[in-house]
Amino acid sequence: MENEVKEYTVMIYTENKIGLLAQITNIFTRRSLDIWSLSAGPTSLEGIHNITLVTQATERRIKECVQQLEKRVDVIKAFFYLAEKIVYRELALYKVSTDSLFQCEDIENLLTRCSARIVEMNKTFTVIQKTGSAEETARLLEELKPYQILQFIRSGRIAVSKAEQEPITKFLRKREKERQLQTTK
């Protein structure tokens, strides 16, 4: 159904240029699309960076948005995916009172059950790390509330497609073959 609002992960491959992130978010803002999470960083391809964001939209609106993104000079290619077409994770850090954690007899089991681990511990606070979906990190947050949460932060989504070949690599190879054909004519 094209009019049904769904959650999409948009993966934008770009050159690393100053101000590009602001231009990209502006495209979503002008279309009244709320960005739920956003992350950016380098890819395995030299000189190419990835911006991954999550939004909700109809298929028609997300297609229009991706087409607009690709009109930007510094955007190489953009793709959009439903959750079942990608593998994704978020990182969450929970800073809790060390004293309150020591009062919990079952903290080791809680961390094991939630696939979380302690990454820093001192007399006043303990930092716990959890990777997973937003739902999984939110569940651990709820379970840790009795232990005096001092701080909580969750990253934006990072994702890779389930396609056998990375979509940007496939796109760049196709583009390179087209260029070679044009130069031989």
- Residue 182, SS3? helix
Can you give the residue ranges of every domain in the chain? 6-81, 88-158
pLDDT score of 54 more than 90: yes
* Higher pLDDT among residues 27 and 179, named by residue: 27
pTM: 0.84
- Starting at the edge strand found earlier in the chain, the sheet holding 49-57 runs 35-42, 49-57, 6-14, 75-81
In CATH terms, the superfamily for domain 6-81 is: ACT domain (3.30.70.260)
Per-residue pLDDT of 94-130, as tens digits, reads 999 999 888 878 888 999 999 999 999 999 999 999 9
- CATH code for the structural domain at 88-158: 3.30.70.1150
* Higher pLDDT among residues 148 and 184, named by residue: 148
CA atoms of 168 and 166, how far apart (whole Å): 6
